[in-house]
Amino acid sequence: MRFTPSIPEIAALAEGADHVDVKTVQSGKELGRFAADLLSYHPGWLRALYRLRVVLAKVFGLRQEAGGSGERLAEVSFTPGAKVLFFTVTAAEPGRYWIAEAADRHLSAHVAVYAGTGDAGENLRHVATIVRYRHWTGPVYFTIILPFHLLIVGASARYAARS
């Protein structure tokens, strides 16, 4: 399956990526509020997974970024270069898309949150994860966390749609 969103900035990131996945939910929520709620999802089970990640990160020699802090974001910045939790905003257009990156020596991952419309005219919000490996440990690490990543992003998107 080829990932070809209508937003050129996201399509360019996905071109040649090592992994791309997209979760889609129905939501008319303003895009910035949706992204803030997406990143604010921190139930107990997710905080426990972040604690397990600390152990895995030590094995792989990765930075210990804060995650699962329970911090509720009031908003996300749409300014390129701004920090939002452990992400750095790389491109954004209010109401249309928000793209941020988290990078380490093993891989870089972009999250792209963007608006869409379904076949029946319903408002959709898409959350794409775009990963590029930077070191041989990247695919090893990502293979280990992938099932959890898919679970977390899906749950976070559903939470953002309804909260």
Q: CB of 29 within 8 A of CB of 121?
A: no
User: What is the DSSP pairing of strand 123-133 with strand 19-26?
Assistant: antiparallel
Tell me: the pLDDT tens digits for 97-134?
999 999 998 999 999 999 998 889 999 999 999 999 99
Count of all residues that appear for the chain in the document: 163
Domains of the chain by start residue, with CATH: 8-162 (3.30.530)
Q: CB of 64 within 8 A of CB of 156?
A: no
Tell me: the pLDDT tens digits for 60-109?
666 655 554 567 888 999 999 999 998 999 999 999 999 999 999 899 99
CA distance 141 to 123: 35
Phi, psi of 97 (to 5 degrees): -160, 160
What pLDDT sits at residue 156? 95
Tell me: the pLDDT tens digits for 10-27?
999 999 999 999 999 999
CA distance 46 to 11: 29
Task: Show Cβ contacts of residue 11 under 8 Å, excluding neighbours closer than 6 positions.
Answer: 3, 4, 5
CA 23, distance to chain mean position in Å, is 10
Q: Which residue has the tokens 């309804």?
A: 162
